[in-house]
Structure 1
Amino acid sequence: MYRPCRQYCSHCKQTTIGHEEKETDVNIALCMLNEAYKDSYDRAYVVSRDSDLKPAIAMVRSVFPHKEIVVVAPPHFGHSTDLLSVANGKRKISKSQIEQCLFPEIVLDPGGNVAAVRPPEYQPPA
């Protein structure tokens, strides 16, 4: 969930209205714990660097010691040491993995109509 917020740019000295992410960490934590209780997974991959998830990961590991939690960092970012301290392991998403997962330049619906066009800035390198 995103909510509007004022953002100040120290470079151009302007204030704009931006959006601030809210409640995502809470929703991830609740889902991870709920699915652990339902025994829906043996291993969870948490793609986040948000240290607010540390208590949830620690709780899952404490209540369900057989469940494995792996924290995953995006390209160009390191892992959260807080999350690593409670997780079973870590992984890293590489730039090439993201490039391999891009949708085609033009996505068609079942009727053959253009459903989406990939923006030019999302084009993979030549």
Structure 2
Amino acid sequence: MAVYVDGFNLYFGLKDKYRRRYLWLDLQTLAASLLRPGQTLTQVTYFTAHVRDQPESHQRQSDYLDALAVHCPLVTVVDGRFRAKDRRCRGCGDTWVVFEEKETDVNIAVALLEDAVLDRYDMALLLSADSDLCPAVRAAKRLRPDKRIIAAFPPGRHSADLKRAVDGFLSIGRDKVSRAQLPVTLTADSGVVLRRPKYWS
């Protein structure tokens, strides 16, 4: 089983549903908990982008990614990017810059399709509720009809379109995320100590 995690879809699902309580999430343990008896977890690919405009958020995210690298050997991180975009207030004319996350859904689509064609999985678990991924799911199944793709919806999220595109779906509940938390403290090979951010409580 190959698992593809839409980082921002998962993050905002967790945050909207449980605030910051479960953000220190062990993706490998979570993925393994979604498998059925007899299935084997082969890879977990986590798609995200580094926060740019908020130094404290950037540090928390960096610590989290480092913790995944230390504790979750099956997890690979694929980076997208944030693009600066100017915004203007129609009322007063003031302008400001916002950062929009880009490339994540494209990166997931490419990986899901490429891995299907190259026979890197028999079954894929797509941890997302983003309907923009439907074309990639349909293409993968058209090119490799022997492959099965299951959607795992983050807490509080779902997509009727994605339900129709995949072979099956499930919703991730509180029990799964609460039991899949990283240790509060981890130590990297370099000796650096990583701790769950106090803000994530």
- TM-score normalised according to structure 1 size: 0.79
Cα deviations by residue, 1:2-42 (Å, 9 ceiling, x for unpaired): 2233578xxxxx97644311111111111111111110001
1:15–1:102 CA distance, 2 compared to 1 (3 A)? farther
Are residues 1:108 and 2:174 paired?
Answer: no
Query: Which residue pairs with 2:175 in the alignment?
Result: 96
Corresponding residue SS for 1:39 = coil
Aligned to 2:113: 33
Q: Which amino acid aligns with 2:193?
A: A
Aligned residues: 117
Distance 1:7 1:98, change over 3 A: farther
Query: Which runs of no fewer than 5 residues in structure 1 stay unpaired?
Result: 9-13
Aligned counterpart, 1:11: none
Q: Higher relative contact order by CA 8 Å / sep ≥ 6: 1 or 2?
A: 2
Partner of 1:71: 151
- What SS is found at the alignment partner of 1:116? strand
For 2:159, give the aligned amino acid: S
Q: Distance in 2 between matches of 1:96 and 1:4?
A: 37
Residue 119 of structure 1 aligns to which amino acid in structure 2?
P
* 8 Å Cα contact 1:106/1:114 also seen in 2: no
Instruction: Write the letter of the residue equivalent to 1:116.
Output: L
Structure 2: any 5+ residue segments left out of the alignment?
A: 1-80, 89-93
Aligned partners of 1:52 and 1:34: how far apart in 2?
17
| 3-state SS of paired residue (2:178) | helix
Match of residue 137 from structure 2 = 57
Q: For the pair shown, which has the larger CA radius of gyration, 1 or 2?
A: 1
Give TM-score scaled by structure 2 length: 0.52
* Distance in 2 separating the partners of 1:39 and 1:32: 11
Cα 1:6/1:116, change in 2 over 3 Å? farther
| Structure 1: distance between partners of 2:123 and 2:87 | 38
Q: Deviations over 1:69-107 (max 9, x none)?
A: 111111122x21111111000011122222222212221
Q: What RMSD in Å do the two structures reach over aligned CA positions? A: 2.3
Counterparts in 2 of 1:104 and 1:42: CA distance versus 1, 3 Å: same
More helix by share: 2
Change (3 A) 1:70 1:84: same
